[in-house]
Amino acid sequence: MFRRHPYLSAATFGYLAVVAWLTLSPQAPDQRDGPLWQLALYLDQFSATQWLTFNDLEFVANIGLFVPVGLFFVLLVGKRLWWLALGLAIGLTVGIEWVQQFIPSRVSDARDILSNSLGAAIGVVFTLSVAAGRERARAAARRRRRNDNLPQSR
């Protein structure tokens, strides 16, 4: 798998390194300087978005963080093994939350498992949808070529 797709493998491992840095590096318990906190403060200024809390934004950010994980894993294992890609992504997020228990400044949270798994599932579904669309387009092109090569009746 890795030898067949060296650039995809490198991109996947690079992205997983970013995920590891974001989720496993020691972080100060006070996140008031972070971009999500700043976004929450900004959105709190408007009555239409005051209902969005920091926890809501963090949940959505975790979904977004794991969409590429689902995408990369499907591309690596193939669309027929999409279930393996999803299982690997869920296993990854469970592993991250388990390790976070042992990092003093980190908090392990079941909501993170849910949001990360949801993000990975979105990535898997997106990748399978694009692959199915491409396969339909290829099949239509094959049908057109076949029809173009048929003798015309008069």
* pTM metric for this prediction: 0.82
Residue-wise pLDDT for 48-87, tens only, equals 888 888 889 989 999 999 999 999 999 999 999 999 999 9
Report how far residue 128's alpha carbon sits from residue 107's, in angstroms, rounded to the nearest whole number: 33
Residue-wise pLDDT for 44-53, tens only, equals 888 888 888 8
Asked if the model's pLDDT at residue 28 lies above 80, the reply is no
3-state secondary structure of 131: helix
Domain limits for position 17: 6-149
Residue 25 belongs to some domain of the structure: yes
Residue 134 belongs to some domain of the structure: yes
Residue 154 belongs to some domain of the structure: no
Please answer whether residues 147 and 139 qualify as being in contact, where contact means their C-beta atoms are separated by less than 8 angstroms: no
Domains identified in the chain, total number: 1
Residue 34 belongs to some domain of the structure: yes
Instruction: Find the angle CA(107)-CA(113)-CA(119) to the nearest 5 degrees.
Output: 125
Asked if the model's pLDDT at residue 29 lies above 60, the reply is no
Residue-wise pLDDT for 92-129, tens only, equals 999 999 999 999 888 889 999 999 999 999 999 999 99
